A and B are shown apart, each in its own frame.
Chain A
Amino acid sequence: MSDSKLRLVRSFFNYRFFSIFLVFVALLLFFGFFSPHYRFTSLANIKILLGPGSEFSIIALGVGLLMVSGEFDLSVGSILVFCSFMFIRLFEIGMNLFLAGFITLGLGALLGFLNGFITTKARIPSFITTLGTMMLWRGVTLLLSLGYTRPFDTEVSPLLGSILTGKIGGVIPAQAIWFGAFGLVLGLVLHLHKFGNWIYATGDNKQAARAMGINTDRVKTICFMIVGVLCAFVAVMQIVRVSTFTSRAGDGWELKAIAASVVGGTSLMGGIGSMAGVFLGALTITVIENGLVLLRIPYFWTYIIFGLVIISSVLSSLYLERKRLGRD
């Protein structure tokens, strides 16, 4: 094997990624053996994992990217629900659904831009900015929708339905393909594109990045916008799947997305993380949620397990990292 190939493999299986990989495999084995009637590995359940489960995971990819740049986004669930409302309104006035979809993506980009703009220009920690917009956009959506659900008719555009929620070959949910595609594209950007290098530099040492002429404010704002667009995309995808707008869409996803990134080896301080790690982290969170339901464990336990998995995965990756740095 050539040297560069070997290096690629090695960086893929880097220490942080390796620990989440072990956790993920262990969870799969555990749920596979212990779910009653092996329901976890049934085709029906795998379709649920890969279909609706991918909706959350797509957003987690963006949140992970943003965290590498050193910022947080607590407003993902609220951006999602606001975009859902926008899309359902455009549907109700009879607009072409593809056009409506693109307008919704534009709204997502705009909301992400606002997060980035406020955070970078006013120098407010993004934790606070997005805490504010989290409440703001959900509040606005509740106000406009009065909290009622609204029906959506998938029959209006079967094409959009099959692009976003169809089954490839009748088996693989389109959502999973989208998740994989977004993961691949964002992974290429983060690891191989020069913009990815700017994201790492911005998160790792902002002063150094600025001194080298990188516009760190712009880098961060673009990352916020990527998150916003992904939220809008999932908003449309979700409405098409459930045929209903609900003002509870995306509720609680913000912390789950951060959890997925951290479990996947992303540093809360920025500058460290990989797209493969975030990808597996998102899958891990989805698998835990799903597996516990199948084990008939009361839902309240889910949070306890989440907590334990987050803390243990961070501890193990820190331990491995220290060991490695010590040896070098």
Chain B
Amino acid sequence: MTSSSGSEEERSLARMTGVEKWFGKVQALKGIDFEVRPSEVVGLVGDNGAGKSTLIKVLSGYHLADKGEIYFEEKRVNITSSLDARKLGIETVYQEQALAPNMSISRNIFMGREPAKPLGFMDKKSMDRGSMEALESIGLHLRSPDALIATLSGGERQGVAIVRALHFKAKLVILDEPTIALSVKEAREVLDFIKQLKREGISVIFITHNLYHVFPSADRFVVLGLGEKIADVEKKDTSIDELAELIVKPPSHD
């Protein structure tokens, strides 16, 4: 679906061109062009060491690219820290590192960005209300904002981490292996959260090994291999089998 009102500058939300990254003598990214459009779910797939995580870490400010440019909403941007990325509206949800297990749901969602009353005391009421509303907006119904993260299931934790990104007006949410180490039921929950994000008009980059998880939820697939872009295809033009073959095949130089 293309929005007819979409002017030229709305065509891409985030665009990376010619990105290169070296780690010592190893070239992890070899001139990658990568783009995410508004309300689009992009599946970023590839084998271990393909460069998926490196590419995403450049976009989220964790790594600095050695070469290449990043445009956000068609404006050239410099992302040198995760704070820069967050200010633009790019939120990254890292597997298992995102939450503090012995803290409550609402304290986690507002971690580092607590709404405060005078003198810096937390506005607990607005934190609790904000968290419950945000959780319900992705269809996650939890008992109480005071429940500790340690008492939640893996899928629920992933949901809380996604909600945290959502609540802060993220325009682009990057999910790094969100379904790894989850049960089938929990993984399905996470996939539902992703659909909900798209419905809210938020773009998603979904990094995974698991084609069966990414295929139903993504609109487009970008396949990386050994630091190069092997394929960039719309879902309607491909199939799980074709993608699987592309992932295994080494990049061909033509």
Residues of A within 8 A of B (CB): 4, 7, 11, 188, 192-195, 197-198, 200-201, 204-205, 207-209, 211-214, 267, 271-272, 325, 328
- Check if B121 sits within 8 Å of A205, measured CB to CB: no
The CA-CA distance from A209 to B94 in the complex, in Å, is: 13
Could you list 17 A-B pairs, sorted by A, with CB under 8 Å?
A193-B119, A195-B120, A197-B114, A200-B100, A200-B102, A201-B103, A204-B100, A205-B99, A207-B97, A208-B108, A211-B94, A211-B97, A212-B113, A213-B82, A213-B86, A213-B113, A214-B111
Interface residues on B, range: 20 to 34
Residue of B nearest to A10 (CB): B146
Inter-chain CA distance A195–B120, complex, in Å, is: 8
Instruction: Report chain A residues within 8 Å CB of B121.
Output: 188, 192-194
- Shortest C-beta distance, B170 to chain A (Å), equals 13
108-148 of chain B: CB within 8 A of chain A: 108, 110-114, 116, 119-122, 124-125, 146-147
B112 nearest CB across to chain A (Å) = 4
- Do residues B122 and A192 form an inter-chain contact, with CB atoms below 8 A? yes
User: B100 and A325: CB pair below 8 A?
Assistant: no
**CB <8 Å contact, A198 and B112:** yes
Highest count of chain A CB atoms <10 Å: which of B83, B94, B97: B97
Interchain CB contact under 8 A, A194 and B120: yes
Give the residues in chain A near B94, CB-CB below 8 Å: 211
B125's nearest neighbour on chain A, judged by CB, is A4
Q: Once the chains are docked, how many angstroms separate the CA of A112 from the CA of B146?
A: 33
Known: A11-B146, A213-B86. A194 touches B116 (CB 8 A): yes
Q: Which residue of A11, A208, A267, A325 contacts B98 across the interface (Cβ within 8 Å)?
A: A208
Most central of A7, A212, A267 by chain B CB within 10 Å: A212
Q: Assess whether A205 is in contact with B146, with CB atoms less than 8 Å apart.
A: no
Given A192, A194, A271, which contacts B100 in the complex, CB threshold below 8 Å? A271
Residue B17, interface by CB 8 Å: no
B78 in the interface (beta carbon within 8 A): no
- Contact call B151/A212, Cβ cutoff below 8 A: no
Question: B122 and A193: CB pair below 8 A?
Answer: yes
Q: Mark B138-175, 1 if CB is under 8 A from A, else 0.
A: 00000000110011000000000000000000000000
Q: Which residues of B contact A213 (CB under 8 A)?
A: 82-83, 86, 112-113
B residues in contact with A200, CB < 8 Å: 100, 102-103, 107
For chain B residues 199-226, which have a beta carbon within 8 Å of chain A? none
Q: Does B101 contact A (CB under 8 A)?
A: yes
Shortest Cβ-Cβ A-B pairs, 4 listed = A212-B112, A204-B100, A194-B114, A205-B100
Q: Which single member of B98, B99, B151 contacts A328 (CB below 8 Å)?
A: B151
Bound state CA distance, A267 and B103, in angstroms?
13
